[in-house]
């Protein structure tokens, strides 16, 4: 039997915060894990003390052997849940606000080099409906930098083909326009006029359709990408977010300013975009050697 407050919170995340099903499931699992800990330790989760949370963190670190990233994610899930309980008047204080998680190791975003993406783009068979769809998934993720949840929710009437723009419904139900280029335009037009018609057995309004004629899911996109990379010589893993990282990194490497990249990615804060500045060393070297007068000796 599920906790009523947790059920209400999950509905709040889905219908008011417009979180993806994947994110909601992750939150739910984190909170339920804490409930299990409370039951095991004979604690009332509505009457948690600071010391109880410290013991929980020790449990995650020493017994469960969770890494720092995982612990911080779980703390974030619980902060959000307890904030909801405070706002609803169920408890008075959010004790999780007093707790700092372990320091994260600075991790650079993983991304594809352009030649690696070129190899991926050659895999789908554009003479089949699924091949057209799969190539469009690759091209659109890379051309726009959108999240996988945004990708699967695109409908035909969101696309302005004359201006090569798409209206995207992002985090927090916020709309933004993204732009796509000529490579993406070519396969988009081919898919809409050919492959999508054959896949769309149920007259769906969504752009991306699965083999059953239904809206393609986030999980479906991840599966398609993992199958595509198996047909290349690349030894990297792949995810939709890795293509998003590639989009941002390549823009910066080609001289795009950070503020523009922030807007294109749909980040609310520029601090979320700044991580990409750490992966543009090659670009900085080129600028230095081509711009600084004493970087190279004359021959």
- DSSP letters for 37-55: HHHHTT--TTS--HHHHHH
Closest CA to 129 of 182, 186, 183, 190: 190
DSSP for 121-155 reads HTSS-TTSHHHHHHHHHHHHHHHH---HHHHHT-B
Residue 145 near residue 247 (C-beta atoms within 8 A):
yes
Cα 286 to chain centroid distance, Å, stands at 30
Residue from 133, 190, 192 nearest 159 by CA: 192
Active site residues: 147, 171, 241, 244, 267, 276
Q: State the CB neighbour count (10 A cutoff) for residue 86.
A: 14
């Amino acid at each position: 039997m599920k906790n009523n407050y947790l059920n209400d919170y999950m509905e709040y995340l889905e219908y008011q915060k417009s979180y993806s099903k994947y994110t909601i499931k992750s939150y739910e699992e984190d909170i339920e894990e804490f409930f299990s800990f409370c039951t095991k330790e004979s604690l009332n989760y509505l009457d948690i003390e600071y010391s109880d949370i410290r013991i929980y963190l020790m449990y995650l670190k020493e017994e469960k052997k969770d890494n720092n990233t995982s612990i911080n994610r779980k703390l974030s899930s619980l902060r959000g849940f307890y904030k909801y309980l405070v706002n609803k008047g169920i408890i008075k204080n959010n004790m999780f606000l007093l707790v700092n998680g372990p320091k994260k190791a600075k991790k650079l975003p993983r991304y594809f080099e352009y030649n690696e993406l070129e190899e991926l783009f050659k895999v789908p068979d554009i003479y089949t409906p699924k091949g057209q769809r799969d190539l469009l998934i690759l091209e659109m993720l890379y051309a726009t930098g959108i999240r996988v949840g945004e990708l699967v929710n695109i409908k035909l009437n969101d696309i302005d083909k004359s201006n090569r723009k798409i209206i995207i419904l992002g985090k927090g139900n916020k709309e933004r326009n993204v732009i796509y280029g000529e490579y993406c335009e070519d396969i988009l037009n081919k898919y809409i006029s050919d492959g999508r018609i054959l896949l769309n057995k149920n007259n769906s309004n969504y752009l991306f359709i699965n083999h059953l004629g239904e809206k393609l899911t986030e999980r479906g996109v991840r599966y398609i990408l993992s199958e595509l990379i198996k047909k290349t010589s690349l030894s990297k893993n792949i995810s939709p977010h890795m293509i998003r990282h590639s989009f941002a990194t390549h823009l910066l490497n080609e001289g795009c300013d950070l503020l523009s990249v922030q807007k294109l990615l749909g980040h609310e804060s520029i601090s979320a975009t700044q991580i990409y500045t750490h992966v543009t060393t090659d670009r900085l070297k080129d600028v230095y050697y081509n711009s600084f007068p004493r970087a190279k000796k004359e021959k």
